Structure 1
Amino acid sequence: MDRLTNTIRPYAWGSPTAIPGLLGVQPTGEPQAELWMGAHPGAPSRLDRGAGETTLADVIAADPERELGAAAVARFGPRLPFLFKILAAGAPLSLQVHPDLEQARAGYAEEERLGIPADAPHRNYKDPNHKPEMVCAITAFEGLCGFRPPREAAALLDGLKVDSLTPYVDLLRAHPEDAALREMLTAVLTADRAETARTVAEAAAAAERLGGPYTPYATLAHHFPGDPGVIAAMLLNHVKLQPGEAMFLGAGVPHAYLDGLGVELLANSDNVLRAGLTPKHVDVPELLRIVRFDPGDPALLRPEDGDEEVYDTPTDEFRLSRLALAPGAAPHRLPAGAPQILLCTAGRPTAGELALAPGESVFVPAGESVELSGPGTVFRATVVL
């Protein structure tokens, strides 16, 4: 078992205080958006087994079966299939979707065939993998996830009383629902940008005046004035998670994180197609091909009861669970057989002989079991075999 040293990513949307507050350190004044735990090549965790510091990615590459286990290597290949994060949103993230595995493989192969550089700003597929993900709230957490029923979205837009939104309202009241959503999103993202900017400004002023359910969209317009993503966001379910609640984001589901501190667990991929709320490239035709226009309730998760509270999702690349370790309780043994990363978010628990403080984490190779003792809260990231 190895204590990890992890990189904090300073993306502009990050909260300057949430991660420092969890770690118990002074803020730098700069945004601190994500703390990465894993073997992603962009910022792999570091560890020291007595011969000097190295990366978790290099340790795994040197002996994948020892670190990940033969079953995980056979199932997912010789790499850690997930990335674990602490995410601290101080401002909204982009509105985006992720491809499924077949779409990612085909898209990556095509962009490789075309010779598009991996770092090109207009490249969509950085790797041939899908990117299911989930976020679990540490504090109150707000996001957007999946499409509302079109008539509900129409009522929300109509309530702003902005004349230039009327054609969109009429589109949403058409049937069938998936066609209405597709036509509406297409119309918003392909409209004249100057006209859209005026519509967004009027809608933002109305949302600011009305408040209540319109407040999130006034906030979006403040951060992204004139962006068509502000109107597109009103098509989505607005989600408020309480600590311990989570949401799962499958392929093709449009989403955006708005505010709050949480743990995020995702398949190890960088494939993102953006729909708005960003200055970055928006590939509208490819986005519309990937988006699943299925309205309904967001995929909210509450953990299954037990000593280890499991958040059940339909993906095998990762599994998240939470252990609330009471003072004086018997140690909880986690079995060997799969790679694990353990993250403390509260208290002062111990993992084996290693004491953990909030924000600290350890990597447990597949061949090792580990005992956890309280008091404290530990999130466990592993795979499903």
Structure 2
Amino acid sequence: MLVLDAVVRSYAWGSRTALARLRGDAGPSAHPEAELWFGAHPADSAHVRGGDAPGDGRRSLLDVIESDPVGQLGADVLARFGPRLPFLLKLLAAEEPLSLQAHPSRDQALEGFDREEGAGIPLDSPIRNYRDRNHKPEVVVALERFDALAGFRDPMRTVELLGAIGVPELDPHLGLLRGQPDEAGLRALFTTWITMPQAMVHRLLPKVLEGCIGYLAGHGNGGEFAAEARSTLQIGEAYPGDVGVLSSMLLNRVTLEPGEALYLPDGNLHAYLHGVGVEIMANSDNVLRGGLTPKHVDVPELLRVLDFHSVPATPTEGVAAGARERVYLSATPEFSLSSIELRGGCVELSGAGPEILLCTQGAVRAECDGVKTDVVETTIHATQALWVPASSGPVTLTAVPRNHVQEPSAGAGGPQAQIFRARVGAA
């Protein structure tokens, strides 16, 4: 069991305060902190501290696994996925909306990667879609209120929404969906919008935003579609002139409360709008973008990957697995994610590694094979993690005080802490 230092990804949509607040820092960070990566991704691997690491005492987790795949991953995981950690765990803080995006299925990724390799497109090329041969389903769990767009809304509800904002210029487009309120109609309308000449976007989009303003004003800033209208205005302000603002109106608008989760399968068009959450995914970097970004948008490939079936975006609170642990279910063999609430006493986790234990609240003392690691003394507290290889024994977790920050209502029950546990999924 070793301390795991994340890689900080600083993107413009990140927050200067959200992760700093979790850490207990008095002030904002110097740069926007968008994601902390805990994993062994080839593009940016986290590092372990301690053990037999040379020099500054840090080694890439990718190197640690490659040097001892059986000891780190275990024979079962090695047989199923090869000598790599099959999941990537992230801590995400979105201050501004992210790009619209979708991820391919495994078969699509295999075909797309080999096709781009055959075409001689470098892996680091900005027009490269497939950087590996893997799919990328995801689960996100909210640590605070978390707003997102996910999956295509029921077509008739979208007809009602677009009609409610009262934009005559939308009538020809609305007819595509009203006449065929199914996946074929959604594909036709989405394709019309995403291939629309920029001059037409500049004429239509301001009318749509004016319609959203008018809808909110006419309903006292409320109304049946108030959340959708406000999101469209927020996205339009963040990405002026981007056709993705129109496309975003076809998607389910969902809010996760703390502890609620959302599963995003292959082909699901989505975008995170605002909030802080823990995200786990298959260990892949394959992204097909659909707007709200200056990056490359490959329209034909995106249309090939997207699933246009309308599906509800339904938050889940997970399933209880004992008194203190909740498991967030998904149909993905690469990963399993659960949360553990600690307050008084301790929790013993069976030695079924590999796993990553990420602290998101308070501080935790971890004991493995009689070797104690005090989280406060070793800086393993909120926003930091432990790497537990397959060769480790059971791990015992106990919440301990964090003296340098205010304890959240510790009371008579003692200090509180929260741990997210990322493991490989069932076969």
Q: TM-score, normalised by structure 2?
A: 0.87
Q: Any stretches of 5+ residues in structure 2 without a counterpart?
A: 217-225, 400-415
The match for 1:283 among 282, 286, 298 is: 298
**Equivalent AA in structure 2 for residue 85 of structure 1:** K
Taking the aligned partners of 1:149 and 1:167, their CA distance within structure 2 comes to 19
- Is 1:265–1:320's contact at 8 Å kept on the other side of the alignment? yes
Aligned: 1:34 with 2:35? yes
| Contact in 1 for aligned 2:103/2:137 (Cα 8 Å) | yes
Cα deviation for residue 299 of structure 1 reads: 4.5
Q: Which residue of 1 aligns with 2:420?
A: 379
Alignment match, 1:219:
234
> C-alpha deviations, 1:120-163, integer Å up to 9, x for none?
11111111110011110001000001111111111111222222
The counterpart of 2:352, out of the listed 333, 337, 341, is 337
Q: 1:119 aligns with which of 117, 124, 142?
A: 124
| Residue aligning to 1:234 | 249
Runs of 4+ residues deviating >4 angstroms: none
Q: Out of 388, 395, 406, which is 1:364 matched to?
A: 388
Q: Which stretch has the larger CA shift, 4-13 or 155-164?
A: 155-164
Q: For residues 178 and 276 of structure 2, what CA distance do their matches in structure 1 show?
A: 36
Q: Secondary structure at the match of 2:139?
A: strand
Structure 2: distance between partners of 1:174 and 1:77: 49
Matching of residues 44-193 of structure 1 within 5 Å:
44-47=45-48, 48-50=50-52, 51=54, 52-175=57-180, 177-193=182-198
Contact 2:86 2:283 in 1 (8 A): yes
Deviation per residue, 1:175-223 (Å, 9 max, x gap):
3501111101000011121111221122112223433230000000001
- Whole-Å separation in 1 of the counterparts to 2:260 and 2:163: 31
SS in 2 for 1:320: strand
Contact (CA 8 Å) 1:350, 1:372: kept in 2 or not? yes
Deviation at 1:71, TM superposition (A): 0.3
Residue in 2 that maps onto 1:321: 338
The offset of 1:360, in angstroms, is 1.4
3-state SS of 2:171 partner? helix
Deviations 1:240-259 (A, max 9, x none): 00000010110001000000
Segments of 5+ residues of structure 1 without an aligned counterpart are none
Report the Cα distance in structure 2 between the residues aligned to 1:338 and 1:16, rounded to whole angstroms.
33
In structure 1, C-alpha distance between the alignment counterparts of 2:381 and 2:258, rounded to whole Å: 19
Paired amino acid for 1:22: L
TM-score after normalising by structure 1: 0.97
Counterparts of 1:342 and 1:229 in 2: how far apart (Å)? Answer: 36
CA–CA separation in structure 2 for the residues paired with 1:157 and 1:31: 35
Q: Which amino acid aligns with 2:40?
A: A
Quick check: 127-136 or 203-212, which moved more? 203-212
The letter of the residue matching 1:49 is: G
The answer to whether the 8 Å contact 2:71/2:390 transfers is yes
Aligned residues: 383
Deviations 1:318-365 (A, max 9, x none): 1100011122x2x22111233100011112222212223111100000
Verify the 8 A CA contact 2:365 2:397 in the aligned structure 1. yes
Tell me by how many angstroms 1:29 deviates: 4.1
